[in-house]
Amino acid sequence: MKKKVLATILVLAMTAGVLSACGGATAPAADAPAAEETAEAPAEEAPAEEESTDLGGTSEDPNTLTVAAWDANFNIPALQAAEAAYQAKNPDFKLEINTVSGSSDVENAVTNAASAGDYSTLPDIVLFQDHYIQQYVTNYPDAWQDLSGATIDWNDFGAEKLSYSTIEGKHYGVPVDNGTAIFAYRTDILEQCGYTIDDVTGITWDRWLEIGREVKEKTGKYLLSMDHSGDDLPYMFMQAEGLSQWKNGDPDLVGNETYQKILQVIVDGADDGVILLCNSWSEYTDESIVGDQVAGVMNGNWIIPTIKQVAENSGKWALTTIPTLSGKEGYAANGGSSLYVTSNCSKLDLAQEFLAYTFGGGEGSMDTYDNALKNGGVITCCISAGKSSVYQEPDAYFNGQAIYADIVAMGANVPVVEQNDFHYNLRTAVGTAITNATKAGGGADLAAEIQAAQDDIVRQMNL
């Protein structure tokens, strides 16, 4: 019963607001991020065990694999690219793709199948959110197959990305989309204030705030915005420090000096007109980014298509790393998903060979990811695939910077930090703390708000 209750809490947490981008939000539109439906767009309504989701099962054809995934503009083109690449080796191969409305369709299906003790409704392969998979493997170990036997050089992936799908030393998934965070700046706006991209690379947050105040005063633009209804800034800022919001399974907020300093940066930025905390996902994308209110954008790299919607700003952007408290260059990630083989798959050898050949660094990985990038904006997590000529091409919108090669290189440096299945619950509680501590929110004591946030999470975890 406890597993069902926790599954319900997880799904309700997803429906509470727009979740952070996972996998599918890289569509070339200002859609909601991936964990929501389109991979994180308006999320699902009901708890997992109240929904009946049949993902279609498997195929009797020995050369066919079935897969369930979301986002027709992002993940599906990547899977189609993988199918075409593998057909060069096995012309009889077919990938039957079931495009679901969002990630919670897959989560609901796994929960329902486990509750019924019948996994026959599951396809051979499912796309699954990074932030949720460990809980689902823990709760439903019989739903998954170990992929450690696949011919994959697991060291060809960044350690942070791989950490989600590696559970108790076993590889349960093959990483797909790269969630590495970027900090993109309008170089023309910086130049108006006497700065270049180098001046915002490898700097402290204090210095960044100083530059941001000057940018706001001289140009009227914010240096950063975020959807505050699903605020991922604290998570990314902390990861750039090499730290987590969790410690040994518990929230690590109270008495955490680094955490308080990070939140203070956000509060000060909001108070001083440097950071725009938007009330919704659409306000964040449509108004602050596409509406040209900001001179900087920081998020998972899936935000790039949203930036590129403003055609007149082509050639005026550059991307770099994240500031930190010490001034070292910071690296983080936000969002992403991986492919997992279910226990209903009777063709494990074929599934492992297909995944290894396409997404896992095999012979077809460059073709897979080159076409996934061109057709869906999916950036590889596989370091070797990122060395193709397509990834080295200069991007005119970013003033000739080879941004995709740079993103893959940055992804290799993202530190592994502790994760927790109450990630989104904590995000909501901390968002409230930030709001209350800003001048507009009443200027409450930040330390007291952090205490309230931690108390709230502990209460939820003990339900």
Dihedral, 6, 255, 434, 16 alpha carbons, nearest 10? 0
pLDDT at 336: 87
pLDDT of residue 53: 65
Amino acid 29: pLDDT: 33
Q: How far apart are CA 40 and CA 18, in angstroms?
A: 7
Instruction: Identify the pLDDT of residue 56.
Output: 83
Q: What is the pLDDT of residue 73?
A: 86
What's the helix, strand, coil split of the chain in %, to 5? 45, 15, 40
Amino acid letter at 201? T
Region of residue 447 (phi > 0: left; psi between -120 and 50: alpha; otherwise: beta):
alpha
pLDDT at 407: 96
pTM of the predicted structure, to 2 decimals? 0.84
User: Please, what's the b/e burial string for 179-211 (b: 16 or more CB within 10 A of its CB; e: otherwise)?
Assistant: bbbbbbbbbebbeebebebeebbbbebeebbeb
Buried b (16+ CB within 10 A) or exposed e, 324-345: bbeebebbbbbbbbbbbbbbbb
Q: Give the list of residues 6+ apart from residue 221 with CB closer than 8 angstroms, or none.
A: 186, 189, 215, 292, 293, 294, 295
CATH of domain 181-332+417-461: 3.40.190.10
Which residue in this structure is represented by tokens 């975890």? 461
Tens of pLDDT along 151-161? Answer: 999 999 999 99
Query: How long is the chain?
Result: 463
| pLDDT band with cut points at 50, 70 and 90 for residue 220 | very high
What is the reported pLDDT for 399?
97
Please state the rounded mean pLDDT for residues 406-420.
94
Predicted confidence at residue 16, as pLDDT, reads: 38
Digit-coded pLDDT (tens) for 41-92: 333 333 333 344 679 899 999 999 999 999 998 999 999 999 999 999 999 9
Q: To which H or E segment does residue 133 belong? A: helix 130-139
- pLDDT tens figures, 334-384: 988 999 999 999 999 999 999 999 999 999 999 999 999 999 889 999 999
Tell me what the mean pLDDT of segment 404-424 comes to. 93
Report whether pLDDT(26) > 90.
Answer: no
The neighbour count for residue 413, using CB atoms within 10 Å, is 15
Map residue 122 onto helix, strand or coil.
coil
Q: What is the DSSP letter of 327?
A: S
Lowest mean pLDDT among 50-59, 192-201, 293-302: 50-59
Angle, helices 257-271/233-240, rounded to nearest 10 degrees: 130
Is-same-fold flag (2-179+335-387; 181-332+417-461)?
yes
CA angle 197, 320, 241 (to 5 degrees): 120
Burial of 58 (0-12, 13-18, 19+ CB in 10 A): buried
Q: What CATH class has 2-179+335-387? A: alpha beta
pLDDT at residue 18, rounded to an integer:
34
CA dist., res. 250 & res. 148, Å (int): 30
Distance CA 439, CA 271 (A): 6
Percent of the chain with pLDDT over 90: 83
Residue 30 has pLDDT above 70, yes or no: no
Contact 128, 35 (CB under 8 A): no
Find where tokens 């699903």 sit: 230
Q: Give 88-143 pLDDT, tens digit per residue.
A: 999 999 999 999 988 899 999 999 999 999 999 999 999 998 888 988 999 999 99
Q: Where are the domains of the chain?
A: 2-179+335-387, 181-332+417-461
Q: How does DSSP assign 284-295, residue by residue?
A: IIIIIITTT-BS
Task: Count the alpha carbons within 13 Å of 33 in the hemisphere toward its beta carbon.
Answer: 30
Tokens for 160, please give them. Answer: 């942070």
- What mean pLDDT comes out for the span 142-154? 96
Query: Which string of DSSP letters, residue by residue, matches 214-243?
Result: HHHHHH--BSEEEEGGG--HHHHHHHHTT-
Burial class (CB in 10 A: 0-12, 13-18, 19+), 87: middle
If you average pLDDT over residues 10-35, what whole number do you get?
37
157 beta partners: 382
Contact 330, 124 (CB under 8 A): no
The whole-number pLDDT of residue 102 equals: 87
Q: Write out pLDDT tens, residues 225-263.
A: 999 999 999 999 999 999 999 999 999 999 999 999 999
Instruction: Share the mean pLDDT of the chain.
Output: 89
On the question of pLDDT at 21 being above 80, the answer is: no
